[in-house]
Each structure stands twice: as C-alpha cells, then as structure tokens.
Structure 1
Amino acid sequence: MNRAERQHLIKQLIREHEIRRQQDFVRLLNEQGYAVTQATVSRDIKAMELVKVPATHGGYRYSLPVERQMNVDKKLGYALKDAFVSLTRQGELLFLKTSPGSAPAISTLIYQMHFSELFGNIGDDDSIFIVSKSEAEAESLQKKLLNLIN
C-alpha cells in the first residue's frame, strides 16, 4: 500500500470510527490486512495535519482539519480544472480521465464531497472509476463534476 492509499484509508477510518490514539489506527489498518507501524501512522498524521477534537464521550479523537472539510468543493474544482482530460458515462458508471498522478487526490476529494448520487469510487494514477446509485444519478453527478470545471 502506498502513502496516498494509506492516507485515503486513514481518512475513511476517521469518518467511521472514533479514533483516540495512533495505536488505534495501527490496529484498524492491521485488521484490514495492511501492516503498518506506529511510526508510519505518526508521519501520516503529521502530513495530513490531523487534529484532536473533543470526543462525544469525553477525551479527544482524531479529525481532519476544519479548513480541509470546508473547502473540499473548491479543492475539487481546482484539481479538476488543472488535471481534467475527459469524463464519460455508461449507465450508472462514470469514467474520469485525468493527467498522470492526479487521480488519487481527485478520487479522495470526490469521496469527501459526499455526493448523494455516489455509490463508490476508486482511482489509480490517471483515471477514476465512479459508480452511481442509478443511471439518472450518474447523469446528475456527471453534470455536477463538469460544472466544477467550468
């Protein structure tokens, strides 16, 4: 697992779990079959600029920085304007082609947008495979993504 994939998974874990310690990240990643050390997680936390915020049952938990959560739509728009090559649709599926190296970050931003039409997405180096919940929702999502470029 490379750094971008690991950090994408860490963001997902933050959304799904109340993570209080670095060891919790290590345990959850190991449970999912990704062998990582506490030192690796510590470097990722620093690189991702994660912050600790009050937890619902006392204590503190890890969270994404507030400014990153609020500006996802702007970041996605800038990234798409910079790296967009093409966007095609077939049924409920979308295929987004980007410049080399851009797809992992754009894929993460698409996921962070929490589009209601989105069932799931996965990105490699220069392309993103997007699955919508229906054909109509794929068309709606395609329009939203294209509007971010214009």
Structure 2
Amino acid sequence: MSTRAARLHRISQIISSNQISSQGELLRLLEKDLVSVTQATLSRDLEFLGAIKVHGANGDSYYAIPEDSTRELPARDQSRLARTLADLLATVDYSGNIVVLRTPPGAASYLASALDKSELESVIGTIAGDDTVLVVTRDSNGGKAVAKQLQELSQQQRQKGTRTKGDKS
C-alpha cells in the first residue's frame, strides 16, 4: 500500500473496526498490514481524516472518525477530490451515462468514497471494486462530460503539485 489515499483508507478501516487508544497502537497495526508510516505522517493523516478522541462508557478514550467530518465547504470538497484523483486516478473511460475509473489495487473504495462525498450534481452514485470505480451519471449521455471533468481535476492538481515541488523560493 504505497499511496497516501490507500494508507488513509486503511487507517479509516482500522479505526472503525477497533478501539485505538494511541497513535503507537495504530502504528503497530499498520505495520502488521505492511503499511510503513512515520508517527509525524500518521498524525497528519489523522488530522486530515478528522479523527477525534472520544470517551467510551468505561471512561477509556479512543480514536473515531465522525461521519460528518468530511462535510466541508464545496470548494474544500473539490480540492480534496482533486488531490485524491491526482493520487489515485490511473485511467478514465466512459460509455453513455457510465464512467469507469481505474486506480492502483486496493484504492477504488477510497476514490469512490471521495466522489460520493463531493456530491457532484451530475453523479448519481458510485460502485467500487478493488481497482475499478463505476460512476453513474444523471444524464443518459453524461459519461463523457463527467469523465472529462474528473480527468481535468486530476491533471490540474498534478500540475499544481509539480509546480509546488519544484519551487525553491
């Protein structure tokens, strides 16, 4: 699991299925899954995911990711979607009202979730496999426009990332 998005997805899965009380505990579980990450990066990932500490009935605290933690302003949603697309999108194809997105293995669910949370008006919903996301559009011929929109978001973010990495000022 080498991409940031895949790592974020795995962190979300671990937190939702376990009561994780510390970053150290989470690091150990990630290492078991062969996910290599530093404590500093894990801390940033938890912040990005909106993870918070909650108290259980017995008083112990553990990490949770609130369902509404991803309900941000539309501009931020689009920015998050653009970053996720830039990280994960390998290929785009379409037919009629269907768009097919290819990702690295294990990353399709994360991308589908990002698309669902972005609430694109032209998208009815998504279905994810291991490395493929099926996007269904409202318009019977909307696949071409949505495919183009997603491809452009990905390319713009990649270009932005390249310029930022190259800047030394």
The alignment's TM-score, normalised by the length of structure 1, stands at 0.56
The equivalent position to 1:126 in structure 2, one of 131, 148, 161, is 131
Q: Contact conserved, 2:90 with 2:104, CA < 8 A, in 1? A: yes
Of Structure 1 and Structure 2, the greater strand share is in 1
Q: Distance in 1 between matches of 2:69 and 2:131?
A: 25
Q: Percent identity?
A: 20
Larger Rg: 2
Q: Distance in 2 between matches of 1:85 and 1:65?
A: 24
* Offset at residue 95 of structure 1 (A): 0.7
The equivalent position to 1:108 in structure 2, one of 113, 117, 139, is 113
* Offset at residue 70 of structure 1 (A): 5.7
Q: Contact conserved, 1:117 with 1:140, CA < 8 A, in 2? A: no
Q: Contact conserved, 1:96 with 1:128, CA < 8 A, in 2? A: yes
Q: Distance in 2 between matches of 1:135 and 1:107?
A: 20
Deviations 1:81-134 (A, max 9, x none): 122211110111111000112111110110111111111111122110111112
- Identify the residue that residue 143 of structure 1 maps to in structure 2: 148
The equivalent position to 2:77 in structure 1, one of 72, 79, 93, is 72
Q: 1:9-88, aligned counterparts within 5 Å?
A: 46-48=63-65, 50=66, 63-64=68-69, 71-88=76-93
For structure 1, the 5+ residue unaligned runs are 8-37, 51-61
Q: Contact conserved, 1:117 with 1:138, CA < 8 A, in 2? A: no
Q: What value does the CA root-mean-square deviation take over the aligned residues?
A: 3.3
- Identify the residue that residue 100 of structure 2 maps to in structure 1: 95
Q: Contact conserved, 2:93 with 2:101, CA < 8 A, in 1? A: yes
For structure 2, the 5+ residue unaligned runs are 1-9, 17-56, 156-169
Q: Distance in 1 between matches of 2:72 and 2:120?
A: 19
SS at match of 1:95: strand
